[in-house]
A and B are shown apart, each in its own frame.
Chain A
Amino acid sequence: MAQNLNYLRETASQTAGPYVHIGLAPGAAGFDIYKQELGWDIAGPNAAGERIRVEGRVIDGMGAPIKDVLLEVWQANAAGNYAHPEGGSPVEDGFRGWGRVITDFDTGEWGFDTVKPGKTRGRNVGTQAPHLNLWIVARGINIGLNTRMYFSDEAEANATDPVLNLIEWENRRATLIAARSERDGTPVYRFDIRLQGEDETVFFDV
């Protein structure tokens, strides 16, 4: 016999359900209640770096876009610092680095405007290629899915990224790389997330 390891256990996750908007995006549910909804302005007006648009859909195992997803993004600023006490050097005033978007109820499209992040420190040594951390919840998703979006025009940095290199199947790494195009002078990155089946997006347990 031995003493008990009396650590607590993490509270179990449950799905966010179909009405997640009521709590986290009430305007989209059809009513205004808060003086300010959270997560709509990711970079703020003062952030340095390239302004970009990120767009995509979340596609289920039947090939259908999901229309009740809530997606959160967490990212560094253009200098590679996070808006966090342990995130490196201070960030620009108004830069949150966190955002929350929902899919359109009719089309399943989501999108947000931000700045392209810089390279960030790795876990121990080395650097991580520029990336967005994405967290996806919805009806039918029992525990939030973690993934990352990398940039197609950062091939050199992507090749040495420590997290991409955790993925043993090299052909799956491409599921995390968003394709760059341009619309009205603004760079647009397209990132479709496939939950299941062919070209299934890589999800992480970190």
Chain B
Amino acid sequence: MTLLPRKRDGHPPAHTPGYKSSVARSPSRALISGPASPTELSGPTFGHELLGKLDNNLVVNFTGQPAIGERIIVHGRVLDEMGRPVPGALVEVWQANAGGRYRHKKDGYLAPLDPNFGGCGRTITADDGSYEFLTVRPGAYPWPNGPNDWRPMHIHFSLFGPSFGQRLITQMYFEGDPLIPRCPIIRTIADPSAIERLVAPLDMNRAMPMDCLAYKFDIVLRGRRQTMFENQMEGM
């Protein structure tokens, strides 16, 4: 088994001056490349026994009482670059509440907390790589970067594939949000098609009438493939 090399042109580079905090937090030397070793080809596994029943229901998982906001299902599949589903993947999410306020002691935004909304969830993908969350749509919020920068509505996603070399953290955005093309964090990505793949479309097929809307967000992790010649001696 080996990991396909990461195609860095589909990711943001480290140094992106439009996103100011990257300036002092980006390595100035080139990354050192090498083939994946057993260290990167293995990774932690997570069983359902670690999770609570309501962990993927952000509407009620904080107090048991429903959070305020636009009720939505966020669902999709986790696949690898070869198009194969990734079952057993731990998917963790976090987000602001409907007003754009995070339940974090360092967030001092004037929009109020929702007493019934924590803002985090987690689940494990099924055999077909699928996952789902029930949540409320997060609000946009201002942040100190440019003098009037606002993050689009977004949900943070953290993913584990079967190997630690596939580890990924990203953000999901919502179709049609006019803040998307204005966001310095999104604009760290040069490839427009890579940005499009972070934007979840409205999915009326999965919406529940008189209950909630739905957005579909598929996530692709680095590919793994068998290598026939893994133990080939030099010169053969």
Q: Write the residues of chain A forming the contact surface with B, with a CB cutoff of 8 angstroms.
A: 7-24, 26, 29-31, 33-36, 38, 60-62, 64, 66, 68, 72, 74, 76, 82-88, 96-98, 105, 120-125, 128, 131, 133, 135, 137-145, 148, 162-163, 166-167, 172, 195-197, 200-206
Interface of B is mostly: loop
Whether the pair A84, B19 counts as a contact (CB closer than 8 A) is no
B55 CB within 8 Å of chain A:
yes
Whether the pair B52, A35 counts as a contact (CB closer than 8 A) is yes
Whether the pair A84, B43 counts as a contact (CB closer than 8 A) is yes
Assuming the contacts A163-B34, A196-B25, asked whether A74 and B223 have C-beta atoms less than 8 A apart, the reply is no
Whether the pair A204, B44 counts as a contact (CB closer than 8 A) is no
A201 contacts across to B, CB distance below 8 A: 27
CB-CB contacts below 8 Å: B77-112 with A: 79-83, 90, 92-94, 102-107
Closest residue on chain B to residue A138 by CB atoms: B25
What count of chain B residues pass the 8 Å CB interface test? Answer: 92
Whether the pair A11, B197 counts as a contact (CB closer than 8 A) is yes
Assuming the contacts A8-B220, A200-B27, asked whether A16 and B33 have C-beta atoms less than 8 A apart, the reply is no
Over the window 123-159 of chain B, the binary record of Cβ atoms lying under 8 Å from chain A Cβ atoms (1 yes, 0 no) is 0000000000000000000000000000000001010
Q: Write the residues of chain B forming the contact surface with A, with a CB cutoff of 8 angstroms.
A: 1, 3, 5-8, 10-14, 16, 19, 21-29, 31-46, 50-52, 55, 61-62, 79-83, 90, 92-94, 102-107, 118-120, 122, 156, 158, 162-165, 167-171, 185-186, 188-189, 191, 193-195, 197-198, 219-223, 230-232
Out of A10, A16, A60, A162, which one reaches B6, CB within 8 Å?
A: A10
Report the minimal beta-carbon distance from B58 to chain A, rounded to whole angstroms.
Answer: 10
Roughly how many angstroms separate A30 CA and B120 CA in the complex, as a whole number? Answer: 13
Whether the pair A82, B94 counts as a contact (CB closer than 8 A) is no
Residue among B7, B31, B45, B81 with the most chain A CB within 10 A?
Answer: B31
Interface of A is mostly: loop
Roughly how many angstroms separate A179 CA and B82 CA in the complex, as a whole number? Answer: 42
B13 contacts across to A, CB distance below 8 A: 142
Residue among A85, A97, A122, A196 with the most chain B CB within 10 A?
Answer: A196
Assuming the contacts A97-B44, A139-B21, asked whether A162 and B104 have C-beta atoms less than 8 A apart, the reply is no
Whether the pair A143, B12 counts as a contact (CB closer than 8 A) is yes
Whether the pair A31, B8 counts as a contact (CB closer than 8 A) is no
Out of A60, A85, A131, which one reaches B25, CB within 8 Å?
A: A60
Roughly how many angstroms separate A85 CA and B42 CA in the complex, as a whole number? Answer: 8
Whether the pair A31, B103 counts as a contact (CB closer than 8 A) is yes
Roughly how many angstroms separate A203 CA and B163 CA in the complex, as a whole number? Answer: 18
Report the minimal beta-carbon distance from B235 to chain A, rounded to whole angstroms.
Answer: 13
Roughly how many angstroms separate A202 CA and B32 CA in the complex, as a whole number? Answer: 7
Whether the pair A206, B118 counts as a contact (CB closer than 8 A) is no
Roughly how many angstroms separate A195 CA and B90 CA in the complex, as a whole number? Answer: 28
A61 contacts across to B, CB distance below 8 A: 23-26, 28
Q: List 22 A-B residue pairs with CB atoms under 8 Å apart, sorted by A's residue number.
A: A9-B220, A10-B11, A10-B81, A11-B219, A11-B220, A14-B185, A15-B19, A16-B169, A17-B156, A17-B171, A18-B106, A20-B169, A34-B122, A60-B25, A61-B26, A76-B39, A82-B42, A87-B42, A120-B37, A142-B19, A167-B32, A203-B29
* Minimum-distance CB pairs A-B, first 8: A23-B94, A140-B21, A98-B44, A140-B25, A84-B42, A142-B12, A205-B31, A82-B42
A19 contacts across to B, CB distance below 8 A: 94, 102, 104, 106-107
Report the minimal beta-carbon distance from A85 to chain B, rounded to whole angstroms.
Answer: 8
Whether the pair B7, A10 counts as a contact (CB closer than 8 A) is yes
A74 contacts across to B, CB distance below 8 A: 39, 42-44, 164
User: 15 more A-B contacts (CB under 8 A) besides A35-B52, A141-B22, A144-B169?
Assistant: A10-B81, A11-B221, A14-B188, A19-B107, A24-B158, A33-B62, A34-B51, A38-B46, A62-B24, A74-B44, A86-B38, A122-B38, A131-B39, A204-B33, A206-B36
Whether the pair B167, A144 counts as a contact (CB closer than 8 A) is yes
Assuming the contacts A24-B94, A137-B169, A142-B14, asked whether A10 and B220 have C-beta atoms less than 8 A apart, the reply is yes
A203 contacts across to B, CB distance below 8 A: 27, 29, 31-32
Whether the pair A13, B27 counts as a contact (CB closer than 8 A) is no
